[in-house]
Chain A
Amino acid sequence: MAELSLVLVTPERTLFDKPVASIRVPLFDGSAGFYPGRAPLVGRLGLGELRLTDSSGASESYFIDGGFVQVKGSVVSVLTNGATPVAEISRKAAAAKIEEAKAIRAKSDEEFAVAARRLEKARKMLVLAGKD
């Protein structure tokens, strides 16, 4: 039986490096799922939830902040700027982040882009936090 393992790395550390049964990642335009035996792929990630299921059926979720995914052989590598276990996201903190992002007064296009991105990130976090 083909195997699949996930390596989740951020610039600061390697968060996850274990065999899994299936993985779902947020691509830039929607989510994508990987099962063992996936053809090689390099993709751009968006903001959202990375969900993995191990062989016993238990699942784990991380909120990831952009980056790349590479599928090569049986290894799926996810490179992201930041990953937070969903269990650690609280509704309150996410809501506070939305307020924070809304409070930014952008003066230029660049600042506006940054503020918009922060708002989007906070909103997506809130959606995920709402599940638990």
Chain B
Amino acid sequence: MNRRGFLKLAGVAGAAAAARPASAAPASSPDSPEFWGVLVDTTRCIGCRACERSCSIAHDLPVPDIENDDLLEHERTTSDRQWMVVNRFETSKGEVFVKKQCMHCWQPACTAACLTNAMHKTRKGPVIWHPDKCMGCRFCMVSCPFEIPKFEYNSWNPKIQKCNMCFERLEDDKKPACVESCPTDALMFGRKRDLMEIARVRIYNHPDKYVHKIYGEHEVGGTGWLYLAAVPFEELGFRTDLGTTPYPEFTRDFLYGVPLVLFGLPALLLGLSLLAERDSES
């Protein structure tokens, strides 16, 4: 990314970026850029679903009819034809709209699950899928705590469908399509470090408006997408029982132990076999 693009993107982070003390600036090198993400402020969302439309257009998916509000009657989930959905929830503070898509975890379960590296965490943060590597085992679907990867069950050549945070647009220094189409600034694109600052500032400035939690700050080790809300996240269809451990950590000990077994067990077995031989001779 060139400097101009960087400035343009960083500008999105707005006031908080300026307010940030200079010493907190990360020693970010071109080799290890910090992850980008999106802050979703559900108190600002008006449920217009312009993001659903722009997402489908940007990725050549069937464009949903956003005039039809009947779709909001039931809680929907993403599908193999729709990478993101907006749901309506009746809560203690009235109706709230919540956008749902891939969370772009910092340490994604799906990429740790993938045996062909078809699921890939890019350096900028988007988790993307390579069609030429995937063998269609669906282990990513089993592993993802948010149940985001979707599979085309009715195709002889099925693809995994999921939000890629408009990876291809980011390459062109453009914001994700959904963020660009949002008329109320409910979506904000930026570096997670900056987005966290903005989110905290909003909570401190309006302590009665928001619940004092930023969903995605620590969930499953931290996610690229962050959420602010006026009501507890359980009321908005979020799972709050996922814990803060990055999912790949659950398999780390096992995979770490594999070479140990491969070093140790053959030697042990050989020893046993030699001992047993001695015994049978004597």
Is B truly associated with A? no
Give A contacts to B, CB under 8 Å: none
Give B contacts to A, CB under 8 Å: none
